[in-house]
């Protein structure tokens, strides 16, 4: 019985992850805007000096080019890197969903069965949130290496060709990171991944169950597609608002390039948050919010609608 929850959650998560991957890639690129390519240093970017016969002068890069909205950024990626670039790092997404989401969905399902009141067949909201926090934390710790690889593969195209990592696949990314930066690099930003996953799982799964129960309890809709879509979109919005700041910091810490012998750009999550706020203002923590909600909404809808259908298919097993 316990294994079934993992299988159902895993299938739904992989389908949802692959179908919304381009939106996730645009979100990652937007979160890195304002940071100099790959360095983590906020970009009051100075272009290379232009030499003439008698003198050298410096040109400051115009900020406009680096500040694109989600649609403009998507168009720019397709123009500069080709349509296939929108699927950079999809192998890492599949691995991440297999490790992280399968674990969190399965553990949440187990705890839900254990903590549901047999009389009302409902679980109190407080217990739903606790179940989400536990499930998300364990899932994130398992899936962190794939998460780091995914962020790097998605961000690679924005780096100058000489600085690109050019990972061939998620396996190549993990192998190169282990070889060049040590095995601990696979858990870079893991405290952020765990915190974010705890927040996203608690807000997403708990609010989906809560909204669904409320809709059915008040007789607003029957238990069908309409209810699943409505509850899942509301859950996606809640999750996006709660997790965006952690997501921005996580993306920047994971994408940070650490040169041997050089001090890292950020010493940790708090340092990254302080530097980001100081250089770009507090609203920088909500960078990429439109693509976050644009992805979190469809992702959550696809996730729960698929999950409900998979449950129907596997109900006799």
Residue 184 buriedness (CB in 10 A; 0-12 / 13-18 / 19+): exposed
SS (H, E, C) 14-34: HHHHHHCHHHHHHHHHHHCCC
CA distances from 91 to 18, 146, 261 (A): 9, 9, 31
Contact by Cβ (8 Å): 136, 198: yes
Half-sphere exposure of 273 (CA within 13 A, CB side): 11
Higher pLDDT, 63 or 67: 67
Number of H helices, E strands in the chain: 11, 2
Specify the higher pLDDT residue, 40 or 251.
Answer: 251
pLDDT at residue 43, rounded to an integer = 46
Please, which pLDDT band fits residue 35 given cuts at 50, 70 and 90? Answer: low
Whole-number mean pLDDT of the chain? Answer: 82
Return d(Cα 203, Cα 306) in angstroms, integer.
19
What band does 36 get if pLDDT is binned at 50, 70 and 90? low
- The token pair that represents 110 in the structure block: 């187990």
Nearest-CA neighbor of 192 among 244, 257, 150, 237?
244
Q: What are phi and psi of 35, to 5 degrees?
A: -100, 135
Q: At residue 305, does pLDDT exceed 50?
A: yes
Which of 77-86, 228-237, 273-282, 286-295 is the most confident on average?
A: 228-237
Q: How many CB atoms lie within 10 A of CB 84?
A: 9
The burial of 107, by beta-carbon neighbours within 10 Å (0-12 exposed, 13-18 middle, 19 or more buried), is given as buried
Q: In the predicted model, is pLDDT for residue 313 greater than 50?
A: yes
Element (H, E) at 148: helix 125-155
Q: First and final CA of the chain: distance in angstroms?
A: 9
Which of 58-67, 115-124, 135-144, 232-241 is least confident?
58-67
- How confident is the model at residue 44, as a pLDDT? 43
Tell whether the model's pLDDT for residue 1 goes beyond 80: no
Residue 101: pLDDT over 80: yes
Q: What is the pLDDT of residue 232?
A: 93
pLDDT 10s digits, 176-230: 889 888 888 888 877 877 888 899 899 999 999 999 999 998 889 988 899 999 9
pLDDT tops 80 at residue 15 = yes
The stretch 247-275 carries a mean pLDDT of: 82
pLDDT at 285: 86
Taking alpha carbons only, the member of 317, 225, 304 closest to residue 15 is: 304
List the domains of the chain with CATH numbers.
Answer: 2-43+63-313 (1.50.40.10)
Residue 264 has a pLDDT of: 78
pLDDT band at 134 (very low <50, low <70, confident <90, very high): very high
Mean pLDDT of 10-14: 93
Q: What is the model's pLDDT at position 41?
A: 46
- Looking at the predicted structure, is the pLDDT value of residue 170 above 90? no
What tokens appear for 91 in the block?
């192998």
């Amino acid at each position: 019985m316990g294994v079934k929850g993992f299988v159902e959650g895993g299938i739904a998560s992989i389908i949802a992850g692959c179908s919304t991957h381009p939106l996730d890639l645009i979100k990652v690129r937007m979160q890195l805007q304002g940071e100099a390519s790959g360095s983590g240093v906020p970009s009051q970017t100075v272009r290379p000096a232009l030499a003439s016969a008698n003198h050298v002068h410096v040109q400051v890069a115009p900020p406009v080019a680096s500040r694109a909205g989600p649609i403009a950024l998507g168009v720019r990626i397709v123009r500069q890197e080709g349509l296939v670039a929108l699927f950079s790092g999809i192998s890492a997404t599949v691995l991440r969903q297999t490790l992280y989401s399968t674990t969190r969905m399965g553990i949440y399902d187990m705890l839900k069965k254990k903590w549901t009141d047999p009389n009302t067949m409902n679980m109190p909201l407080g217990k739903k949130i606790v179940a989400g926090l536990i499930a998300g934390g364990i899932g994130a710790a398992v899936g962190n290496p794939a998460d780091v690889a995914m962020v790097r593969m998605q961000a690679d195209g924005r780096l100058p060709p000489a600085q690109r990592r050019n990972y061939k696949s998620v396996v190549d990314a993990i192998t190169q990171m282990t070889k060049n930066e040590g095995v601990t690099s696979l858990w870079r930003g893991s405290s952020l991944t765990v915190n974010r996953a705890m927040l996203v799982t608690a807000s997403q799964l708990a609010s989906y169950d809560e909204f669904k129960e409320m809709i059915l309890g008040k007789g607003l809709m029957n238990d069908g597609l309409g209810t699943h879509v409505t509850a899942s979109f509301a859950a996606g919005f809640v999750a996006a608002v709660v997790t965006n700041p952690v997501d921005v910091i996580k993306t920047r810490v994971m994408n940070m390039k650490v040169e041997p012998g050089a001090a890292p750009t950020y010493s940790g999550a708090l340092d990254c948050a302080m530097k980001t706020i100081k250089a770009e203002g507090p609203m920088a923590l909500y960078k990429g919010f439109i693509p976050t909600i644009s992805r979190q909404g469809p992702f959550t809808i696809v996730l729960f609608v698929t999950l409900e259908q998979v449950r129907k298919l596997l109900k006799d097993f």
